[in-house]
């Protein structure tokens, strides 16, 4: 990435921290043993895996023995959902929300289409707030799982997982929390949340891509997605990627410690929004009335296509994400914008800015200038 590039797409992925790369390197070149070998190199690798497990447990507020390493959030979500469905529960209903990540929603839709479950979806309000009354009505004696994300990836809105967990448990159901976007951005305590399963992914908090974790509350059982040597509590057979796990452990510890200073990131996000709000009446902010991640701003540029704004910013050296996607020649709002019932002029112009703890005030100020330059010369569309 050019030195002058401003990266504000951290909800998509993050750069690997220098300390994480340093922690990983010895396990490629020196301590390269299989973590299940009993010789010295194997024992060193095993210790690294268990150190990482302890660090992840501290990050999400659980016991190390409840942490199962995965390749990513998508796998962790699948292991939970598919693992419970394949266990053939007597109940058939799964309840989720209208703003879940596709790794949850697409999987549930596929399982529903196969006739294996009955799926119910709780709606959200115009700023992404979960309709808890609707959730209470949907969770009943037929429900075996409720799956809800802790923080929405497009808007940053924080959902009331603890309240949903109580609803689920009162009905005898289990609670899965997709905490992929929340990890290392807000404190997570799996016990306080009442979560039975928690999913995280390392590349969202400066660990390498291809490594994540799933918390499985002690005493609960899942059917593995595949079988083999029985690693990771028998739930994920295969030789552990020790370098990546060592990196994940360091990233988890760094992220947990950095939470105390995360208000600085929030202040930068607020600075970005204030400048944009003052500069144009044709801008609105999605999710801004709700509790949300301090690093995320979802901005609607009314009358402009999000893709146009993203491309213009890219040319100016600013990386952000569009909130609308092109399908078969048609540009449509995301499922999240549709679930929030945003009008077309807001939904089609939704752009996500997501900061990291490495973002600087100078970068935000430069980004604001680039945004104003980018949108001022663009022809507006009639919707």
Tens of pLDDT, residue by residue over 263-313, are 999 999 999 999 999 988 899 999 999 999 999 999 999 999 999 999 999
Parts of the chain with a pLDDT under 50: 1, 324-329, 382
Dist. CA 95–CA 111, nearest whole Å: 13
Q: What is the pLDDT of residue 280?
A: 86
The helices-and-strands tally (H runs, E runs) of the chain is: 14, 15
Q: What is the pLDDT of residue 376?
A: 83
Q: What is the pLDDT of residue 323?
A: 60
Query: Residue 44 contacts by C-beta under 8 Å, 6 or more apart in sequence?
Result: 31, 33
Q: What is the pLDDT of residue 75?
A: 97
202 in Cβ contact with 214 (< 8 Å): no
The label of the residue with tokens 């028998």 reads: 234
Q: What is the pLDDT of residue 324?
A: 46
Q: What is the pLDDT of residue 332?
A: 82
Catalytic member of 62, 72, 319, 326: 326
Q: What is the pLDDT of residue 330?
A: 52
Structure tokens at 379: 């022809």
Q: What is the pLDDT of residue 61?
A: 98
CA atoms within 13 A on the CB side of 53: 21
62 is catalytic: no
Query: Residue 329 contacts by C-beta under 8 Å, 6 or more apart in sequence?
Result: none
* All structural domains of the chain: 18-258 (3.40.640.10), 262-376 (3.90.1150.10)
Question: What angle is formed at CA 295 by the lines to CA 254 and CA 17, rounded to 5 degrees?
Answer: 30
Q: What is the pLDDT of residue 354?
A: 98
* pLDDT tens digit sequence for 111-127: 999 999 999 999 999 99
* Strand stretches in the chain, DSSP E: 6-7, 67-70, 93-97, 118-122, 143-149, 174-178, 197-201, 212-216, 283-286, 296-301, 318-319, 321-322, 324-327, 330-333, 350-354
């Amino acid at each position: 990435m050019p030195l002058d590039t401003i990266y504000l797409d951290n909800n998509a992925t993050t750069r690997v921290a220098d300390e994480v790369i340093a922690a990983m390197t010895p396990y490629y070149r020196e301590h390269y043993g299989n973590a299940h070998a009993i010789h010295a190199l194997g024992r060193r690798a095993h210790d690294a895996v268990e150190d990482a497990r302890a660090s992840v447990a501290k990050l999400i507020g659980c016991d190390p023995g409840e942490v199962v390493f995965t390749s990513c959030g998508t796998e962790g979500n699948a292991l939970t959902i598919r693992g419970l469905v394949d266990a053939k529960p007597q109940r058939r209903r799964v309840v989720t929300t209208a703003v879940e990540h596709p790794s949850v929603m697409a999987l549930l839709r596929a399982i529903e289409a196969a006739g294996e479950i009955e799926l119910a979806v709780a709606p959200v309000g115009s700023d992404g707030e979960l309709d808890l009354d609707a959730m209470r009505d949907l969770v009943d004696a037929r429900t075996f799982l409720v799956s809800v994300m802790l923080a929405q990836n497009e808007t940053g809105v924080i959902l009331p997982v603890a309240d949903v967990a109580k609803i689920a448990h009162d009905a005898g159901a289990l609670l899965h929390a997709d905490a992929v976007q929340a990890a290392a951005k807000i404190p997570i305590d799996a016990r306080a949340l009442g979560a039975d399963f928690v999913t995280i992914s390392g590349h969202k908090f400066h660990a390498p891509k291809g490594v994540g974790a799933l918390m499985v509350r002690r005493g609960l059982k899942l059917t593995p997605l595949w079988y083999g040597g029985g690693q990771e509590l028998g739930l994920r057979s295969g030789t552990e990627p020790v370098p990546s796990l060592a990196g994940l452990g360091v990233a988890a510890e760094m992220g947990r410690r950095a939470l105390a200073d995360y208000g600085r990131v929030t202040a930068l996000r607020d600075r970005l929004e204030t400048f944009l709000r003052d500069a144009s009446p044709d801008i609105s902010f999605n999710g801004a009335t709700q509790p949300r991640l301090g690093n995320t701003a979802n901005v609607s540029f009314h009358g402009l296509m999000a893709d146009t704004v993203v491309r213009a910013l890219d040319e100016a050296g600013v990386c952000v994400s569009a909130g609308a996607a092109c399908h078969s020649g048609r540009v449509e709002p995301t499922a999240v914008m549709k679930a929030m019932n945003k009008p077309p002029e807001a939904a089609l112009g939704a752009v996500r800015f997501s900061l990291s703890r490495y973002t600087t005030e100078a970068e935000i100020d430069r980004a604001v200038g680039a945004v104003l330059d980018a949108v001022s010369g663009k022809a507006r569309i009639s919707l």
